[in-house]
Structure 1
Amino acid sequence: MVNYTLLGLSGSLRQTSANSKLLLEAARLSGGQFVQADLRLPLYDNDIEDAHGLPDEVQKLVRQVSQADAVAISTPEYNSGVSGVLKNALDWISRADVKPWTDKPVVLMSAAAGRSGGARALTMLRSCMVPFRAQVISGPEVAVADCNNQFDESGRLSPRYEKSLAELMKGLASEAAR
């Protein structure tokens, strides 16, 4: 599959988020058509779901995951785990009648200011993906440390991490082609 649709989920809502920059670099290296999901969702609340069903924004996100050929998820590390924004989105998606993640090729990555680059958040994210039965590509692991200094003024990732990201995206493209 030369051209495929790649959906990006950034666990950070910040305008200048390193995780969103990392997703843009992943998209550039993948060669796929890129769509960035909007994770500005209401907090998961079973009372809302019971009264009104899934909110429109959540239904859109579920459709996006379903329709994408592959998904890239990038998370910051907050208090040794994934961001609340990302966990909330995963919780909402889990409530859908369809199971959009099943056998979906997915890559996980992180960018964090600390020296581990979000490695603990990646471990937690991997655990969060288990119930979805996604086809999570195992590596190479991309955990961008000191993330605020790893992108140049045009948003390009430093060569230190670009090689691993390119290899990860090559693996994703291979899985998406199956």
Structure 2
Amino acid sequence: MPAPLIVGIGGTTRPGSSGEKAVRAALARAERTGARTRMFGGAELAALPHFAPEDSSRTPAQRALVEAVRTCDGLVIGTPGYHGGVSGLVKNALDLLEDLRDDSRPYFEGRAVGCVVTAAGWQACGVTLTALRGIVHAMRGWPTPLGVTFNTSGGGLFGPDGACTDMAAQANLDMLADQVTGFARRQAA
């Protein structure tokens, strides 16, 4: 059985955002368990033009994201919680995936999606996680049983090298990655 491909989407325009580091930490766990990964972080997401459904032309960056999701076996999506919702940067990337609607496996069909939220407060974490799970359901994906939230108001959870410095937080990211890759392997079998 070939190694599953897990795509990560998330981050902000701020280099080294905690949300992007969290998604990268989950992908690192997936790699340690034999998966292949591809990350679309804040810089890649910021380069995407605003999704316009009436315009079918796509930039190379847009095509790369759509192709990666089209061929992936699972996803990890991370977003900051802005005013109780998914960030515009992440939402624009997800809206672009409307290009997958007519595929034989549309949107996230048959794939597990790990959801990660970072926010400056627990209320924003919970509300945004619910919103992200709703988007995943609407796109025919299977949100993993564990959704990971990080309240960033208490300080950093990641070192300068991007490594998670909190053992409990890393354990949650590992579990989320294991759920995504485990589902992908079961689907392939």
TM-score range, shorter chain: 0.7 to 0.9
TM-superposed deviation, 1:127: 1.0
The reply on whether 1:65 has 2:69 as its aligned counterpart is yes
Letter in 1 for 2:149: A
Q: Which residue of 1 aligns with 2:22?
A: 22
**Equivalent residues of 1:22, 1:74 under 8 A apart:** yes
TM-superposed deviation, 1:54: 4.0
**Equivalent residues of 1:8, 1:72 under 8 A apart:** yes
**Equivalent residues of 2:11, 2:17 under 8 A apart:** no
Quick one: which of 155, 159, 166 aligns to 1:152? 159
Report the secondary structure of 1:149's partner residue.
Answer: coil
**TM-score scaled by structure 2?**
0.82
Quick one: which of 168, 172, 177 aligns to 1:164? 172
TM-superposed deviation, 1:58: 2.5
CA offset digits 1:71-126 (Å, max 9, x no partner): 10001011111000111111121144322411122111112233446222111111
The reply on whether 1:78 has 2:82 as its aligned counterpart is yes
Q: Would the alpha carbon gap of residues 173 and 2 (structure 1) be closer, same or farther in structure 2, given more than 3 Å must change?
A: farther
Structure 1 unaligned blocks of 5 or more: none
Q: Which residue of 2 aligns with 1:9?
A: 9
**Equivalent residues of 2:113, 2:136 under 8 A apart:** no
RMSD: 2.0
Report the secondary structure of 1:128's partner residue.
Answer: helix
Letter in 2 for 1:26: A
CA offset digits 1:8-56 (Å, max 9, x no partner): 1004232111111001110122222221123231112244x1xxx1413
**Equivalent residues of 1:117, 1:143 under 8 A apart:** no
Structure 2 unaligned blocks of 5 or more: none
Counterparts of 2:2 and 2:124, CA distance in 1 = 31
Equivalent pairs counted in the alignment come to 173
Identity of aligned residues (%): 25
Letter in 2 for 1:143: T
**Equivalent residues of 2:26, 2:174 under 8 A apart:** yes
**TM-score scaled by structure 1?**
0.86
The reply on whether 1:135 has 2:142 as its aligned counterpart is yes
Runs ≥4 residues deviating over 4 A: none
Counterparts of 2:158 and 2:174, CA distance in 1 = 15
